[in-house]
Homo-oligomer: A and B are copies of this chain.
Amino acid sequence: MIEDQKPSKTTLESLGEFALIEHLTKAAKVTMPSTKLSIGDDAAVLNHSGETVVSTDMLVEGVHFDLGYMPLKHLGYKAVVVNLSDIYAMNAQATQVLVSLAVSNRFTLEALEELYAGVHLACKTYCLDLVGGDTTSSKKGLQLSVTAVGVAPKTGAVKRSGAAESELLVVSGDLGAAYMGLQVLARENEVFKANPNHQPDLDPYNYLVERQLKPEARKDIVNLLENLDVVPTSMIDISDGLSSEVLHLCTQSDVGCRLYEEKIPLDPQLISVCEEFNIDSTTIALSGGEDYELLFTIKQDDYDKIKGNPNLSVIGHMTPNADGVCLVTRGNEVIPLKAQGWKAF
């Protein structure tokens, strides 16, 4: 599919590294006051009014994405967004991003333009500057590395380690959809392989597929919390599944937790597709991953400020460490929570 997107084809060899970088990044405009020097020097220069927050991630073809399902523009967008999610998970504002890629010469200039169109769209959507990166060749496949930079709020970056007993556990949005979106795409791909004339009808799965292909980071939640005057005591983003992230918060805060199955927010489409696939929706929400929602704890006194907000669900409360990290099922059983998130190896 990479070679069929546009009729005109330009090989990367014909351009050279410097011309390629200039071509791909010329759309990058400096819009943030904190960007003092952007692409084109040995390093970018930033001037943040508060603490600087920085995070980096690597995405590898065949491991983190499959170009058979994932259009390159979506990949560029998603690669930036998943890094921004880490910045927002500090209750910080993302301000700049650096994008490096290694590509084999099977990619054309037009393919990389698609990828960068996604990067530029993410920068525009989230109001941040592309300030650097590296573009080089790989022996095989596509590898992306994104570094996101942000600025912490005056109240300080929110760590994973700040949760205390009796605080409330809150999650944004809903869970499990991105994982089921991937299952739907994988099933369609198998059908397509068996019958290349098959026209998939993804309409009944549109929400799930969009959550997989075009996830969004919850900048809006960081802004919402600021507007509600709520400073979370601890925070993490959900990339590996709810179970795994709850366990991280509890371990690093030295507390236990009771998580209530009936409180876990699920989209109606997720529930019906889980029935279609004969999979338990709670399992998917706990272990699916790639939700990029924010999971955080707040003091009980702040409950009234968030109560009834459609973007936020209270799903549990923190307990003494000795009480363990437990799921309270719909049947009122109390079972220890286990991480079964995505495995990198």
Distance from A76 Cβ to chain B, minimum over Cβ atoms (Å): 16
Distance from A269 Cβ to chain B, minimum over Cβ atoms (Å): 28
Q: Say whether A43 contacts B344, CB under 8 Å.
A: no
Question: Which residue, A56, A96, A149, A160, has most C-beta atoms of chain B within 10 A?
Answer: A56
Q: Which residues of B contact A343 (CB under 8 A)?
A: 16-17
A54 within 8 A of B: yes
A202 within 8 A of B: no
- Indicate whether A92 sits within 8 Å of B54 (C-beta atoms), given known contacts A140-B140, A147-B147, A345-B137: no
A173 within 8 A of B: no
Alpha-carbon separation in the docked complex, A342 to B209 (Å): 42
- Indicate whether A139 sits within 8 Å of B58 (C-beta atoms), given known contacts A86-B43, A89-B42, A345-B105: no
A316 within 8 A of B: no
- Indicate whether A143 sits within 8 Å of B102 (C-beta atoms), given known contacts A45-B157, A52-B52: yes
Stretch binding the partner chain, chosen from A128-136, A219-227, A325-333: A128-136
Distance from A30 Cβ to chain B, minimum over Cβ atoms (Å): 14
Q: Which residue of B lies closest to A148 (CB)?
A: B43
- Indicate whether A61 sits within 8 Å of B139 (C-beta atoms), given known contacts A45-B51, A45-B90: yes
Contact of A139 among B37, B132, B140 (CB under 8 A): B140
Distance from A192 Cβ to chain B, minimum over Cβ atoms (Å): 22
From 14 to 59 in chain A, residues with beta carbon under 8 angstroms from any chain B beta carbon are 15-17, 20, 36-37, 40-48, 51-58
From 51 to 71 in chain A, residues with beta carbon under 8 angstroms from any chain B beta carbon are 51-58, 60-64
Question: Which residue, A42, A86, A159, has most C-beta atoms of chain B within 10 A?
Answer: A42
Tally of A interface residues using CB under 8 Å: 71
Distance from A80 Cβ to chain B, minimum over Cβ atoms (Å): 14
A272 within 8 A of B: no
From 178 to 202 in chain A, residues with beta carbon under 8 angstroms from any chain B beta carbon are none
A286 within 8 A of B: no
A237 within 8 A of B: yes
Q: Which residue of B lies closest to A20 (CB)?
A: B345
Q: Say whether A55 contacts B42, CB under 8 Å.
A: yes
A166 within 8 A of B: no
From 66 to 103 in chain A, residues with beta carbon under 8 angstroms from any chain B beta carbon are 85-87, 89-90, 92, 96, 98, 100-102
Q: Say whether A52 contacts B45, CB under 8 Å.
A: yes
A163 within 8 A of B: no
Contact of A43 among B61, B101, B157 (CB under 8 A): B157
Contact of A51 among B47, B61, B235 (CB under 8 A): B47
Interface string of A213-249 (1 = CB under 8 A from B): 0000000000000000000000111000000000000
Q: Nearest 5 pairs between A and B by C-beta?
A: A145-B145, A17-B344, A43-B55, A42-B89, A42-B86
Given contacts A17-B343, A41-B160, A60-B138, 13 further A-B contacts (CB under 8 A): A12-B345, A15-B345, A17-B344, A40-B252, A43-B55, A43-B87, A45-B157, A54-B54, A56-B56, A58-B143, A63-B136, A102-B143, A140-B141
What are 16 of the A-B contact pairs (CB < 8 Å)?
Answer: A37-B159, A40-B160, A41-B161, A42-B87, A42-B160, A43-B53, A43-B90, A45-B52, A48-B48, A54-B147, A56-B132, A60-B137, A60-B139, A63-B138, A137-B345, A139-B141
